[in-house]
Amino acid sequence: MPKHFLMCRPDYFTVEYAINPWMDPEAGADRDLAVRQWEGLKAAYEELGHQVSLIDPIEGLPDMVFAANGALVVDGRVYGARFAHAERGPEGPAYLRWFTERGYPAREPLHVNEGEGDFLTLDDVILAGTGFRTDVVAHQEAQEFLGRPVISLTLVDPRFYHLDTALFPLDGRNVAYYPEAFSEGSRKVLRKMFPDALIATADDAEVLGLNAVSDGRNVIINAEASNLQLELKRRGYEVIPVDLSELRKAGGGPKCCTLEIRGEN
């Protein structure tokens, strides 16, 4: 079934501050290359038949390209984002405004959360990350607003500061993840919930291979995650590698650039 994604062209992308271990302001980033790579990702979605909507980028918000962090949308209801770092603070209202202007029922959050960066939706539950960016109390706030069970998972490695850098849904029932990114208790939860999960290697995780997007059949994934691509193919998935190396300089990959709009208003 075709999906509906919201994306933001990286017209103002740069690395001018460091709020995660991937970012090095001295090294900077090539904005034009980032735009070309982003356009390749957008084209990949459209070639698969998915719908892509665009939000206008805002000058001075270089990380706005990472649309996944802007909200969580389930059943046409929008739980907004409240960013942990001041540098990204204005992004939350900008994304919420995009949805409210189009008639989506929306909730401005009371608690710090970074949208789909830390909330990943399956058929019956929402997996929610905490430890670096999203307050655990936001998990409860999202559950109350969206009416979906939310399972809290604790992240422990600062390289994997969002849940979507350490885990992605393969479909509505199963996931791929990197165990070492999680606390011991969270690993036990994941093992119980997903006994047939695809377990990623450190090499895959360290190129943000788990910051991937699956539509249940096709998986759009960072090209460097070679082991993970082989395992996905063995499981029958069509693998579509993309090069987002420039955006990775800010800690982003395919999923970071992609906010899924589930259910229409």
Question: Strand 126-130 relative to strand 150-154: parallel, antiparallel, unpaired?
Answer: parallel
The catalytically annotated residue of 8, 139, 256, 257 is: 256
Query: Is 139 an annotated catalytic residue?
Result: no
- Residue with token string 């996905």: 232
The label of the residue with tokens 């949308």 reads 73
C-alpha angle 244/250/255, rounded to 5°? 50
Question: Which residues fall within 8 angstroms of residue 108, CB to CB, at 6 or more apart?
Answer: 80, 96
- Burial (CB count within 10 angstroms: exposed 0-12, middle 13-18, buried 19+), residue 32: exposed
Best CA proximity match to 173, nearest among 123, 231, 127: 123
The span from the CA of 221 to the CA of 176, in Å, is 12
Q: 8, 50, 139, 162: which is the annotated catalytic residue?
A: 162
Read off the amino acid at residue 189. V
Count other C-beta atoms under 10 Å from residue 258's C-beta: 26
Burial 124-136 (b: 16+ CB within 10 A, else e): eebbbbbbbbbbb
Structure tokens at 18: 């460091």
Which residues on neighbouring strands pair with residue 121, listed in sequence order? 126
CA separation for the pair 62, 258 (Å, rounded): 16
Instruction: State the Cα–Cα distance between residues 238 and 255, nearest whole angstrom.
Output: 17
CA distance 116 to 260: 8
8 catalytically annotated: no
Q: Active-site residue numbers? A: 162, 256
